[in-house]
Structure 1
Amino acid sequence: MDQTLPGILRAAAQRYGDRPAYVEDGETLSHADVLEHVRTIARGYLAHGLQPGERVCLWGPNSIDWALAALAITYAGGVVVPINSRYTAHEAADLIERTAARLVLVADGFLGRSQIADLRAAGELGSVAAVIDLADVRDLPGASVSPAYVEARADAVSRDDVADILFTSGTTGRSKGAMSAHRQTIGVADAWAELGGVTSDDRYLVVNPFFHSFGYKIGIVVGLLTGATLYPLPTFDLEVTMRLVERERITVLPGAPTIYQSLLGAPGRAERDLTSLRLAVTGAAVVPVVLIERMRAELGIDQVVTAFGMTEAVVATMCRPDDPADLVATTCGRAIPGMEARIADNGELLLRGEYVMLGYLDDEAATAEAIDADGWLHTGDVGTLDASGNLTITDRLKDMYISGGFNVYPAEVEQALARLDGVADAAVIGVPDERMGEVGKAFVVRAADTTLTEDDVIAFCKQRLANFKVPRHVEFTDALPRNLSGKVLKTQLRSS
């Protein structure tokens, strides 16, 4: 198997040809069509001066154009930098600046916003040669670049070149860019597809966002490797999801537990024929045993498995299709081929193997802190391994919580709150939520003589942060509990 993204794209076009690769809103592109579009778009990038190894930021929801744009970046020798589609312009501009992006591709108008105008108003984009609307990406002028030159660029890509930089956040709240080589992005997708038995007969509804490794690598790249037909969904909508599953006979539907909980409780679900579903892979939060049982019994999904992954390793452990429901619900499965897991003396989960990131972008200190001299990635999660190697996550060393399948780092929210007039002190924790798994709760100390309200706090956060980071609850307090060194005692907040 070729271990570069241009290589597997060419192989998919040759192997699967006229079979459908993408279906969205009545448009169908074959695998051969995808390659031709990618070649054309790559010529447009090169006409804008994209050089080998330069970064291109992609800011938008799932769509055929997002997939084509991303594949064209690596075909032209560039590096894909996805940006969360719910980010504000300030958050997006920060990643663009830190990656010194040559080009920025934006789904302008998504959710009724004016992203391109907001981005330009957010600050200087010194490295950027062009900001391009994703709606125009297939029509980029590239006549000045010969087809032969594009192919030479694709030929020059190495399996060890950086393919993508996916940003996560650390305990300090500052995001970090996890770099992966082509061989890693392809290898982990291949391992996942093998364990899930994904083939060219599958129809895969991609609810997981493309800006996330589970949508990009376990979606787009899996589609190239297996020939499966992908149906990109820009936002999760219950009615649309059920209609697509029924009409298109969707077979593969991975996602966060909230997706399946929503499906099980959907009005009119009993009247829908969802029996085509055969594979569901979930994780990112504690999964109740009853949910796994109901997914199998009521949704009729033959293979329901759980997995553990993170941006720095994508997928590390995964249940197997024949595992019993209680094992699937209470564990994250065993290490996938190419990876190994162990528990440190302090209970922290450590991971090592082929799919651990190359390191963090421009941050040697953070890389050294995350990956030790023996190659073990320190995950910051506390867990146990049973005699068969099945992983159970029991706690977090970090304060991160998971809301609707997305990681939220309280320090980032706290930094935003510190900018709100009337806030003297603030701390954020995750609290249980039936639908989202966890949501944020902010403990706020008002400055003297202020009349700050809960609505004020939430409204301010909505202006500065993506929606999933915005606290759903606010509690005002006279002081935050702290230890002698000044650190907030979040264990006390959680028990209050």
Structure 2
Amino acid sequence: MTLPTDGTHTIPAALEAAAQRFGSRPAYVEGGITTTYADLLARVREAARRYVALGVEPGDRIALWAPNSVDWVVAGLGISYAGGTLVPINSRYTGHEAADLVSRSAARVVVVDDGFLGRTQAADLEAAGVSARIVTLHESDTHLALCSVDATHVAVDVVIDRADAVTPDDVADILFTSGTTGRPKGAMTAHRQTVGVARVWGELGGVTESDRYLVVNPFFHSFGYKVGIVTALLTGATLYPVAAFDVDAVMTLIEDERITVLPGAPTIYQSLLTAPGRDKHDLSSLRLAVTGAAVVPVVLIERMRASPDEGGLGIDTVVTAFGMTEAVVVSMARDGDPAELVASTCGRAIPGMEVMLGTGDELLVRGEFVMLGYLDDPAATAEAIDADGWLHTGDIATLDADGNLRITDRLKDMYICGGFNVYPAEVEQVLMRMPGVSDVAVVGVPDERMGEVGKAYVVGSASPDDLVAYAKEHLANFKVPRFVELVEALPRNPSGKVLKTELRQA
């Protein structure tokens, strides 16, 4: 299948084209309520009018701090439609973490789902000193809701003109990641890149308008936003957003809605395979699974492909992929690749991208979907992308004769917990601020369900329980170390660098 390339190189253009091509077809289903592609365009235009009423100008940045929902999609696409730049924020972040990204991005407005997970997001941002205008996704007793903004003075033609004026080279989104220093860096991506990578991913997966696509991957992440929301605009697939993963609810949804596409981290499929009562659910509609983000056991791929009678999920096409915030999707296995290859490699470079090995077998990536650069950080950009356009990933890799990529180590010490990147330096900086901690090092250790979890080696008088409690107060849950070990001293080399290899082998 060849997806249309008739000028749909911006997110607003992709939305307009989707409404024309798929108008009355369901774009989203949530809580039994269906939103068609025509409905989606109408709702996005209304959201864009409200952003304009709030004073948003073309090029302004708007932060969105909320879990997966149709309202997230409307708010996010509305930002692009109004000519703004989307800055998604991890829905599990604490107020301090979210406020830092709002400040760093100089967001003019921040949209929050106040009350998600029983928290007070709006108040937390205010307490952290955020100066951006705070509005809520839903009606609130304390803050103005986006849907309640008076936009009667903003004509629809105004936002249509805004959408038409967006160019493929305009910055569509800024997704924050972290480096070895622990300081978040905002990866800037143009519309042509966000739309282009979604188009390629959809082609390789064979996604069509007949697919029913369950999105467990968070929308604040490129896996949920770009290869979820944007891929659907290009293919006409129906998306089913999931705010928080619950294995029983997901199995029921797969069975009732005959879900066909389910990308996710390995932990998603492991949870399905080991779920009590799985044999009571018909999951046979699943045809495509794309996983990665951690080491994938060969037996997991085999069980995902195996029939239910054999204890598997019976998924026709199971492939792995490799990507990063700075490049979204770099490589991907293909349908028909053997289980051993799918599990042990990240497949081959996707169209538009190329890979090579640099000094010390560091993986270098170049192509159409490499980010424009880091927000307000030319030094970090120059360090990451060399003069020849190669992005230095910080991962050590191998390439076989067929171009299949294997990630063998991480120069940056990053580990992946349940599909989320965790940067030990960031966690260490937080823990070092705790009274009773004089030195700390965090490493990732294997975990059967989550892929990897954090283990903190701590020098000082703080108790493990107090340290975990402190981490929970200041960090998102996936960053909180699962294990804490008190030690007399951390192993270091003569230059003072912590020998994390020794800690991982301990």
Work out whether the TM-score is over 0.5.
yes
Relative to structure 1, the CA distance from residue 31 to residue 139 in structure 2 (aligned partners, 3 Å threshold; closer, same or farther) is farther
CA contact (8 A) 1:177 1:361 kept: yes
Q: Map residues 58-457 of structure 1 onto 2, 5 A cutoff.
A: 58-123=64-129, 125-126=130-131, 128-134=132-138, 136-297=145-306, 298-446=312-460, 450=461, 452-457=462-467
Which residue identity lines up with residue 34 of structure 1 in the other structure?
L
State how far apart, in whole Å, the 2-side matches of 1:129 and 1:471 are.
34
Q: Partner residue of 2:478?
A: 468
State how far apart, in whole Å, the 2-side matches of 1:347 and 1:286 are.
19
Question: What displacement does 1:122 show?
Answer: 1.4
Q: Partner residue of 1:458?
A: 468
Q: Partner residue of 1:36?
A: 42
CA contact (8 A) 1:169 1:176 kept: yes
CA contact (8 A) 1:171 1:411 kept: yes
State how far apart, in whole Å, the 2-side matches of 1:165 and 1:437 are.
27
State how far apart, in whole Å, the 1-side matches of 2:148 and 2:330 are.
39
CA contact (8 A) 2:216 2:224 kept: yes
CA contact (8 A) 1:81 1:165 kept: yes
Which residue identity lines up with residue 393 of structure 1 in the other structure?
I
Question: What displacement does 1:344 show?
Answer: 1.2
Question: What displacement does 1:245 show?
Answer: 0.2
Deviations 1:231-278 (A, max 9, x none): 000011100100000000000000000000000000010121000000
Q: Partner residue of 2:309?
A: none
Q: Please give the secondary structure, in 1, of the residue aligned with 2:408.
A: strand
Relative to structure 1, the CA distance from residue 134 to residue 55 in structure 2 (aligned partners, 3 Å threshold; closer, same or farther) is farther
Q: Partner residue of 1:480?
A: 490
Q: Please give the secondary structure, in 2, of the residue aligned with 1:346.
A: helix
Q: Please give the secondary structure, in 2, of the residue aligned with 1:53.
A: coil
State how far apart, in whole Å, the 1-side matches of 2:254 and 2:135 are.
35
Deviations 1:174-200 (A, max 9, x none): 010000000000000000000000000
Percent identity of the aligned residues? 70
Structure 1: state its 5+ residue gaps: none
Structure 2: state its 5+ residue gaps: 140-144, 307-311
Question: What displacement does 1:134 show?
Answer: 4.5
Deviations 1:153-206 (A, max 9, x none): 111100000000000000000010000000000000000000000000000000
CA contact (8 A) 1:335 1:389 kept: yes
CA contact (8 A) 1:425 1:444 kept: yes
State how far apart, in whole Å, the 2-side matches of 1:262 and 1:71 are.
31
State how far apart, in whole Å, the 2-side matches of 1:178 and 1:130 are.
23
Residue range with higher mean Cα deviation, 161-170 or 149-158: 149-158
State how far apart, in whole Å, the 2-side matches of 1:34 and 1:133 are.
16
CA contact (8 A) 2:137 2:147 kept: no
Relative to structure 1, the CA distance from residue 134 to residue 92 in structure 2 (aligned partners, 3 Å threshold; closer, same or farther) is farther
Deviations 1:6-30 (A, max 9, x none): 1010000000001000011121100
State how far apart, in whole Å, the 1-side matches of 2:326 and 2:447 are.
27
Which residue identity lines up with residue 39 of structure 2 in the other structure?
D
Question: What displacement does 1:133 show?
Answer: 3.4
Q: Please give the secondary structure, in 1, of the residue aligned with 2:359.
A: coil
Q: Please give the secondary structure, in 2, of the residue aligned with 1:192.
A: helix
State how far apart, in whole Å, the 2-side matches of 1:132 and 1:438 are.
34
Q: Does 1:493 align with 2:503?
A: yes
Question: What displacement does 1:141 show?
Answer: 2.1
State how far apart, in whole Å, the 2-side matches of 1:141 and 1:299 are.
49
- CA root-mean-square deviation: 0.9
CA contact (8 A) 1:83 1:211 kept: yes
CA contact (8 A) 1:202 1:250 kept: yes
Q: Please give the secondary structure, in 2, of the residue aligned with 1:82.
A: strand
**TM-score, normalising length from structure 1?**
0.98
Q: How many residues align?
A: 490
Question: What displacement does 1:328 show?
Answer: 0.6
Question: What displacement does 1:345 show?
Answer: 3.3
Q: Partner residue of 1:53?
A: 59
Deviations 1:67-96 (A, max 9, x none): 000000000000000000000000000000
State how far apart, in whole Å, the 1-side matches of 2:490 and 2:321 are.
36
State how far apart, in whole Å, the 1-side matches of 2:397 and 2:163 are.
42
Question: What displacement does 1:129 show?
Answer: 3.1
Residue range with higher mean Cα deviation, 482-491 or 314-323: 482-491
Deviations 1:298-317 (A, max 9, x none): 11100000000000000000
State how far apart, in whole Å, the 1-side matches of 2:244 and 2:134 are.
27
Which residue identity lines up with residue 376 of structure 1 in the other structure?
W
Which residue identity lines up with residue 62 of structure 2 in the other structure?
V
Deviations 1:439-473 (A, max 9, x none): 00001111xxx4x2111000000000000000000
Relative to structure 1, the CA distance from residue 28 to residue 137 in structure 2 (aligned partners, 3 Å threshold; closer, same or farther) is farther
Which residue identity lines up with residue 71 of structure 1 in the other structure?
L
CA contact (8 A) 2:112 2:134 kept: no
